[in-house]
Chains A and B, each alone.
Chain A
């Protein structure tokens, strides 16, 4: 990738302001089985104040991308290469934008910790296990508030109740005294959302927040997140493999395959003008309302190569119907802008080549 990392916040998404820019990110896990190359040069931009969906099969690096940006990749995992730039807007200084290179900070160091939880936070997939069973809901929310906002316990509890009320929790002043096991799955996810939003972050990573919930609760939680996103004016990175949820929630979509971003586009382009063969195959593999009963869903043939091995050429070529012999299996396509707010990594649409991106 020869694109210079310009320090403006101008986005590939037209008319948007970038809040996080990830360049050539490689995160590897050094396990007993060998090196698992979870991320192999991820390039993506997160627009400020918008919802961006990140989709892809299991193991394509969606969660690891979020954890890498949060700098929470733990041993044996390690960010081996790349830059993550966070454009922090300071409301006190007339919305001045400060540029912070997160990869230069120490993951557990004081600077990163002051960003984590305050500027960016995360909701996890399993509401049943993402809250500590030994502390009350109130204690867990207040812990974050006291840590980042310099208030006393009484004020922190008042804010915790206020936030719980804001996420539509009934009887918030009672709920703060409850333990996680005393709440239902949906209530726990609301509590988790309150915890994540307690310091009004600029970016929220939601890692499949509704996968473990039933559809009714899922719809409520999605409504709530959309509503909160507008109220707080934050960016949400919505990690999911449910394209229906993406259509309902997101402004932009990032499609990932085997530790790389293969396409970034607006929601409309993703569904009506997908350019990467992988994106099109994903869309063909889900049912549509109004499709003929006799039409069969088309699964993507083959399986994702395991992340321990290296694939020569475009990582998708072994499963791609449009793969071109002598090109796709030899060279790696680079991520290129192909249209308005639309980037793709495929030789069908550009001849930009990228050098092999594996880090030794």
Chain B
């Protein structure tokens, strides 16, 4: 098992190296560069940009170097924790991301927990009460969850929160707390704002996850070993949760592994709609404006989370199912 993990980490490194090259190339691929935007902007403002200034900027950003030289400068810096500088914000990428990452991760982790916390019991309930009225009701809600796009749910919830609860919506803090130092009141204010994005993000994935849970559990409930468990005289709850659910978890674990990159990118649409300062919208804008290092850094983080998620999922699977434990 230890060997297997080390081997997998080796493969991960190779995968990431390939992604780094491809990712960097793709981000750079569209014609033009951020510098051209910048020069055009300065000229528009009436400023006369001299050739010397342009030269100075080109040297500063290393735009005269061939692509591979720039790539190596960036990637060697990346490994050492120096992600380069954002053109747009004229700040270190590291500092830019750091500010927003805490919010992003807390929103994503909470919505992930909420989605799982609801999806698993609901899926189990509707599988064990198949074709009863509660199951039908759950099914209808699930299909609504699957088919309504998240930005719409966000808009509806925002309206409801404002009209019914009189809450200020959008952003993470009310005006009076926006720049205030941390206090308990500010924390409560944060929670008041946070629940909408968490519910919105959890909504869609809960529906999908509980559908999968229901389908898998139905398969497993038909297995002979479930009857064996009953024939021992176990309580029905124990038969379901200990003997059936454990064998129905595989697809959910694989999905959980795959959803790790979603911690960064998943809430983008919702965050844009609700004007929340997470990393999603920033990544989106970085791509739009060809903010090379910012975009490439995001891409690398997403990829790292992606391969890491898959590794964790495989380890978790092996823990759940002895049949796929590796030598």
Contact = CB atoms under 8 A, between A and B. Distances in A.
A360 interface: no
Interface residues of B, number: 20
A134 B321 contact: yes
B231 A116 contact: yes
Interface residues of A, number: 31
Interface in A118-149: 118, 121-122, 124, 126, 129-134, 136, 140, 143-144, 147-148
B224 A130 contact: yes
Interface in B160-207: none
A70 B231 contact: yes
Interface string B295-327: 000000000000000000000000011110000
Interface in B2-55: none
Contacts of A192: 228
A113 interface: yes
A113 B233 contact: yes
Nearest to B128: A75
B247 A133 contact: yes
Contact of A181 (B224, B234, B246, B323): B323
B70 interface: no
A58 interface: no
Contacts of A283: none
A132 B243 contact: yes
A130 B228 contact: yes
A228 interface: no
Contacts of A122: 227-228, 231
Contact of A116 (B225, B233, B246, B320): B233
Contacts of B322: 133-134, 136, 179, 181
B224 A124 contact: yes
A114 B235 CA distance: 10
Nearest to A117: B233
A126 B224 contact: yes
Given A124-B228, A126-B224, A132-B247, A147 B234 contact: yes
Contacts of B243: 132, 134
B88 to A, nearest CB: 51
A144 B232 contact: yes
B227 A124 contact: yes
B232 A143 contact: yes
A72 B230 contact: yes
Given A130-B224, A132-B243, A147 B233 contact: yes
Given A129-B223, A134-B247, A195 B323 contact: no
B236 interface: yes
A72 B236 CA distance: 11
A219 interface: no
A122 B232 CA distance: 9
A359 interface: no
B47 to A, nearest CB: 69
A140 B239 CA distance: 12
Name the residue among B233, B243, B323 with the largest chain A CB count within 10 angstroms: B233
A115 B233 contact: yes
A108 interface: yes
B231 A72 contact: yes
B227 A72 contact: yes
Contacts of A130: 224-225, 227-228
Interface in A219-236: none
A134 B224 contact: no
Contacts of A140: 228
A140 B227 CA distance: 13
Contact of A108 (B225, B228, B236, B247): B236
A113 B234 contact: yes
B229 interface: yes
A257 B133 CA distance: 37
A134 B320 contact: yes
Contacts of A72: 227, 230-231
B166 to A, nearest CB: 48
Nearest to B130: A75
A51 to B, nearest CB: 19
Contacts of A113: 233-235
Given A133-B321, A195-B228, 12 more contacts: A70-B231, A72-B231, A108-B235, A113-B233, A113-B234, A130-B225, A131-B225, A131-B228, A133-B225, A133-B247, A136-B322, A179-B322
* 5 interchain residue pairs of minimum CB distance: A117-B233, A117-B232, A116-B233, A113-B233, A132-B225
Interface of B: 223-225, 227-236, 243, 246-247, 320-323
17 contacts: A70-B231, A113-B233, A114-B233, A115-B233, A116-B230, A116-B232, A118-B233, A122-B228, A129-B225, A130-B225, A132-B247, A134-B322, A140-B228, A144-B232, A144-B233, A147-B232, A148-B233
